[in-house]
């Protein structure tokens, strides 16, 4: 009976050592993984989406290295103590390695960065402060970028609506870092902001009709716009005036590259008279002919029947109050013959000197369409800097206005039927903020993942060898107990 008790107690002891062995093994890397996961999670937002994974990969890598060394040691070393020592050393090394990288390689980088920031008049916290405060600083950076994204009604990554352009032509989505123009797709040898960030382009090198800017492209457009303006200002000139003059030269000179291009087959294929073709750009904006058709429909309906009587009655009432403010020709012109020309004549009866071109220019703000398959007029501006400026201004004002993310104008951001956006900000201040944001972004995404694991690795530099050693120790005790059990439990 006594022996039975001894055996049962040995069995229980063996289970106890086994549990301790497993617990200590797991306590090491599994606990480290959990704690690092918690710390890395403090790097929130899209900015750190990839960076957040780095600390976890480092822990997984360290664990894998230790496991491999354990397997190798099991084959090589017969003595348990040798195994323990070797594996503990490796465990210690994989913990200290990242810390050495941080304090001997990254910290000097921070010193260099501090000098750069100081030279550019930007704020920079010391290495020690950032190690302590990295989560809050990352949150501040996220907040700055979120504020920027909200202001301009964009997301960090760009987006593209619709599966085709308006004329059903295809667009090409370019990934960040692409700097070679795909000549099999583009008809243009100039693509605005190609290497800046992810974007969707039409064949003419402009953004696709449904493209909504991401952070990088927005920043590039604003920088291009602002820096060019400042440069012209420094020379006592105005960039907008220079651009207007350049465009005027291109349109007025019959021999300009632009006017020659307008006669080319490439251009006429998409701006020809064959309005039945889907690719014809004239189907997608208000041409004088379409405006005539709209006015004719309105005139025919408004001037006829009860509507005509009511209008005449209202005009009569206003004229009575104002002493003949509205000419009688107004009511008479409301027929199916109402046209753009008739509207110009009517305006002159009010004493307004406006032309058909003026009306079309007014309409252009609302109904503008550039074929995605022909080069725009800006392409032919010879001054490369002014050409960039023209593209940036067009995208910020016109393209942004279409998609509800106005970058340049009196009201910026989400200017739609329901929203009136924000009042335009001081671009100079924004450029300084963007400079700080860009620099912060550059090093924080690179180094903060390492800083995020620093604290845990410092604790676990001691704990990992300890837990490994304990796991080996308990494995040894388990085996000894089993040996006793096998030998009959007499000892």
Partner 1 sequence: MKTFLKVILYLLGFPLMIGAVVYVSLPILEAGKTYGIWIYGGIGVTALIGLIYLAVGLITWNASRKAKTLAGIRKATAALVICAVLLTTGIWFAIDMALPPILDDATSGTILYEDVRDDYIAKSEVHGLLLTKFIEMNVANGNLTQLSLEQYLAEGYGNEEVKNLIHDNFQSIDQDGYATFKGPWVDLASDDRMTIPTIVHLVINDRYESTEDPLKEDVIFIYKGEGREEAGTVESPIKWTVLDMQEGVLSFDIDALSMMSGLTDEGLTSLLEMILTDEDTAAGIEEMLAPILGAVNDAITDEALAGSVITVDVNIVTDSDVEIDESLKKGTINISIVPANESRGVWDYMNMAWLDSNNLLFTVISLFPARRIMLVFGGLVVILSLIIGAIRESQYKKNLVLPAPQQQAMPYPARATVSKKMAKEYSSPYMKACYRSFNNYDTRGSLHLPKSIDPNDYTK
Please state the closest distance from residue 217 (CB atom) to partner 1, in A. 17
Could you list the residues that contact partner 1 (CB under 8 A)?
3-4, 7, 160-162, 164-168, 208-210, 212, 278, 283-286, 290, 293-294, 296-298, 300-302, 304-307, 309-311, 313-314, 317-318, 321-323, 325, 366-369, 401-405, 414-419, 482, 485-490
Please state the closest distance from residue 309 (CB atom) to partner 1, in A. 7
Our CB check for partner 1 shows the closer of 11 and 42 to be 11
Our CB check for partner 1 shows the closer of 69 and 414 to be 414
Please state the closest distance from residue 235 (CB atom) to partner 1, in A. 34
Our CB check for partner 1 shows the closer of 42 and 80 to be 80
Our CB check for partner 1 shows the closer of 105 and 161 to be 161
Residue for token pair 């001691």: 462
- 3-state SS, one letter per residue, for the chain: CHHHHHHHHHHHHHHHHHHHHHHHHHHHHHHHHHHHHHHHCCCCCHHHCCCCHHHHHHHHHHHHHHHHHHHHHHHHCCCHHHHHHHHHHHHHHHHHHHHHHHHHHHHHHHHHHHHHHHHCCCCCCCHHHHHHHHHHHHHHHHHHHHHHHHHCCCCCCCEECCCCCCCCCCCEEECCCCCCCCCCCCCCCCCCCCCCCCEEECCCCCECCCEECCHHHHHHHHHHHHHHHHHHHHCCCCHHHHHHHHHHHHHHCCCCHHHHHHCCHHHHHHHCCCCCCCCCHHHHCCCHHHHHHHHHHHHHHHHCHHHHHHHHHHHHHHHHHHCCCCCCHHHHHCCCCCCHHHHHHHHHHCCCCCCHHHHHHHHHCCCCCCCCCCCCHHHHCCCHHHHHHHHHHHHHHHHHHHHCCECCCCEEEEECCCCEEEECCCHHHHHHHHHHHHHHHHHHHHHHHHHHHHHHHHHHHHHHHHHHHHHHHHHHHHHHHHHHHHCCCCC
Our CB check for partner 1 shows the closer of 248 and 289 to be 289
Please state the closest distance from residue 315 (CB atom) to partner 1, in A. 11
Please state the closest distance from residue 157 (CB atom) to partner 1, in A. 15
Please state the closest distance from residue 304 (CB atom) to partner 1, in A. 7
Our CB check for partner 1 shows the closer of 22 and 100 to be 22
Please state the closest distance from residue 32 (CB atom) to partner 1, in A. 25
Q: Are 269 and 311 in contact (CB under 8 A)?
A: no
CA distance 148 to 160: 19
Angle at 219 between CA 398 and CA 118, to 5 degrees: 150
Our CB check for partner 1 shows the closer of 160 and 191 to be 160
CA distance 237 to 230: 9
Question: Which tokens belong to 97?
Answer: 């390695």
Our CB check for partner 1 shows the closer of 259 and 287 to be 287
Please state the closest distance from residue 192 (CB atom) to partner 1, in A. 19
Please state the closest distance from residue 424 (CB atom) to partner 1, in A. 17
Our CB check for partner 1 shows the closer of 309 and 383 to be 309
Please state the closest distance from residue 317 (CB atom) to partner 1, in A. 7
Residue for token pair 């993310």: 405
Our CB check for partner 1 shows the closer of 59 and 212 to be 212
Q: Are 21 and 471 in contact (CB under 8 A)?
A: yes
Our CB check for partner 1 shows the closer of 70 and 165 to be 165
Please state the closest distance from residue 10 (CB atom) to partner 1, in A. 10
């Amino acid at each position: 009976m006594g022996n039975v008790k001894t055996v049962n107690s040995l069995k229980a002891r063996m289970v106890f050592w086994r549990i301790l062995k497993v617990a200590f093994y797991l306590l090491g890397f599994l606990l480290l993984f959990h704690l690092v996961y918690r710390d890395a999670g403090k790097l929130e937002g899209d900015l750190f989406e990839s960076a957040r994974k780095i600390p976890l990969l480092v822990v997984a890598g360290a664990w894998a290295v230790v496991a491999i060394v354990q397997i190798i040691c099991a084959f090589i070393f017969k003595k348990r103590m040798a195994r323990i020592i070797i594996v503990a050393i490796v465990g210690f090394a994989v913990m200290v390695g990242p810390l050495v990288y941080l304090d001997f390689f990254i910290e000097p980088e921070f010193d260099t960065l501090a000098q750069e920031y100081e030279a550019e008049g930007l704020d920079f916290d010391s290495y020690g402060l950032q190690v302590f405060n990295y989560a809050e600083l990352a949150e501040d950076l996220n907040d700055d970028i979120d504020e920027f994204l909200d202001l301009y009604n964009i997301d960090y990554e760009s987006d593209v609506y619709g599966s085709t352009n308006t004329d059903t032509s295809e667009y090409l989505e370019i990934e960040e870092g692409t700097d070679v123009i795909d000549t099999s797709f583009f008809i243009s040898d100039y693509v605005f902001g190609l290497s800046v960030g992810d974007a969707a382009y039409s064949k003419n090198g402009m953004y696709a009709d449904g493209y909504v800017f991401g952070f990088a492209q927005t920043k590039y457009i604003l920088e291009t716009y602002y820096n060019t303006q400042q440069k012209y200002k420094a020379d006592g000139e105005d960039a907008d005036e220079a651009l207007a003059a350049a465009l005027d030269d291109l349109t007025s000179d019959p021999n300009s590259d632009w006017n020659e291009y307008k006669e080319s087959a490439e251009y006429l294929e998409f701006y020809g008279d064959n309005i039945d073709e889907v690719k014809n750009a004239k189907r997608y904006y208000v041409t004088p002919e379409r405006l005539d058709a709209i006015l004719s429909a309105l005139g025919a309906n408004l001037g006829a029947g009860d509507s005509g009587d009511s209008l005449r009655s209202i005009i009569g009432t206003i004229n009575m109050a104002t002493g003949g403010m509205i000419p009688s020709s107004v009511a008479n012109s409301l027929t199916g013959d109402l046209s753009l020309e008739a509207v110009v004549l009517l305006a002159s009866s009010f004493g307004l000197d406006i032309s058909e071109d003026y009306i079309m220019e007014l309409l252009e703000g609302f109904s503008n369409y550039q074929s995605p398959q022909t080069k725009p007029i800006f392409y032919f501006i010879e001054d490369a800097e002014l050409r960039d400026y023209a593209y940036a201004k067009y995208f910020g004002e016109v393209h942004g206005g279409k998609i509800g993310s106005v970058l340049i104008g009196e009201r910026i951001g989400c200017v739609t039927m329901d929203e009136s956006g924000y009042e335009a900000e001081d671009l100079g201040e924004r450029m300084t903020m963007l400079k700080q944001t860009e620099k912060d972004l550059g090093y924080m995404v690179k180094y903060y993942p390492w800083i995020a694991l620093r604290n845990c690795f410092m604790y676990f530099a001691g704990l990992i060898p300890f837990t490994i050693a304990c796991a080996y120790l308990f494995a040894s005790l388990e085996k000894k107990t089993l040996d006793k059990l096998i030998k009959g439990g007499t000892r």
